[in-house]
Amino acid sequence: MNDALSWSLPIGRYFGINVRVHLTFFLISIPAILRVYAKAPGYVLDAIAIQLLFFVSVLLHEFGHCFAARYVDGDADEILMWPLGGLASCQIPNTPRANFITTAGGPAVNVILCLLSAGGLAIFGLIPPLNPLWHPIPVAREDALYQFASGQWVNDLSWVALLFARLFYVNWLLFWFNIVLIGFPLDGGRLVQAFLWPRVGFASATRFVIFTGNVIAVAIVLLVLIFAEKQPVNGLIMFSLAIFIYISCRQQSIMLETGGLVDDTFMGYDFSQGYTSLERTSGKASPPRQPFWKRWLERRAEAKRQREQQQFEADQSRVDDLLAKVKEFGMQSLTTEEQRFLKRFSAKLKDKNRS
């Protein structure tokens, strides 16, 4: 396959959204489980439970992006789960508001899950683990929770309380991870870009997030060099994240400079990439000799343009069929999904005419 992101397996279709798991998804989860097994075999089921909670929480995070996209009259058709999180493929109006709401939908789900799990812990008189360094697998039984009912720290929790604590911790970590790191393609970078867009313009907002993303990538690499000896597995994960942030920011920069990025309509949350507009031309001639990675990015952009055009033609054909149905049987003959489709296609036409 030419596109590595296509190396994935479908696991179902939910709410009209295809969910796929990348073949490399287990490159992080399996080593994490094996590391616990090597240190304390009796806690291997706990390690598996943590990975499942991460998977479910990230998946719900991506569904948050998708439902937020539909709220702003956009749509979503696919979620890809891969080692560094999830990618939600959303098509939304080219406006700062639509981009901000769609991006915020992911972290909002994590906040809701935190509140629900904190409420569950309150039943047991416990305060949730606000410390981001809290260990969700109590191998040494040293990570206690404060019990306000008894006024003391406790670490002998029932399995229900421990489940709530772990659910809170996972979503608490995901929320801050996505918000604090202001760079592409994380939610923090997308939110800052959408916030600055109407104030300084799309290009300036994008350049600012590219700059902060590069700074964060360098900072992560420095932290890895300092602490990698103590936590080699975590160091490898963080180093991969730094490389991914740098590549994403570099891709955004190239697309912005070459006219390949006008108004961003592909949102993903916790990890996403720029999505090209339906029609655009670039007045700049291509350099005589381009680096291989730049040619690869341009091939991907061209493939996306072709897919968009094919999808647009298919949507246009469906609109013709629906309009014929309305003419013959009336507007009430359309289903809710068909009405939403017509509304979305109308908004897409308006964006296309403005570009």
Question: Are 32 and 61 in the same domain?
Answer: yes
Question: Are 118 and 218 in the same domain?
Answer: yes
Sign of the C-alpha dihedral, residues 107, 109, 114, 119? positive
User: How far is C-alpha 119 from the geometric centre of its chain's CA atoms?
Assistant: 26
pLDDT for residue 274: 31
- Average pLDDT of the residues in 281-300: 51
Query: What digits encode the pLDDT tens for the residues 202-253?
Result: 889 999 999 999 999 999 999 888 876 666 667 777 888 889 889 989 888 8
Mean pLDDT of the chain: 80
Question: Are 56 and 169 in the same domain?
Answer: yes
Most confident residue range from 184-188, 206-210, 240-244, 317-321: 206-210
Is there a domain that residue 288 lies in?
no
Is there a domain that residue 281 lies in?
no
Is there a domain that residue 283 lies in?
no
Is there a domain that residue 256 lies in?
yes
Is there a domain that residue 282 lies in?
no
Is there a domain that residue 45 lies in?
yes
Q: Which of 319, 326, 323 is nearest to 347 (CA)?
A: 319
Question: Are 81 and 191 in the same domain?
Answer: yes
- C-beta separation of 66 from 90 below 8 A: yes
Question: Are 193 and 311 in the same domain?
Answer: no
Burial 212-244 (b: 16+ CB within 10 A, else e): bbbebbeebbeebeeebeeeeeebebbbbbbeb
Q: How many CB atoms lie within 10 A of CB 169?
A: 23
CA distance 80 to 88: 6
Is there a domain that residue 284 lies in?
no
Question: Are 317 and 247 in the same domain?
Answer: no
Residue 118, both tokens: 């904190």
Which of the listed residues 275, 304, 335 is the one where a domain comes to its end? 275
Sign of the C-alpha dihedral, residues 263, 267, 270, 273? negative
Question: Are 224 and 345 in the same domain?
Answer: no
Residue 321 structural domain: 293-354
Is there a domain that residue 67 lies in?
yes
Query: What digits encode the pLDDT tens for the residues 115-140?
Result: 999 999 999 888 898 887 787 875 44
Q: pTM, whole model, 2 decimals?
A: 0.71
Question: Are 66 and 163 in the same domain?
Answer: yes
Question: Are 302 and 251 in the same domain?
Answer: no
Provide the number of structural domains found in the chain: 2
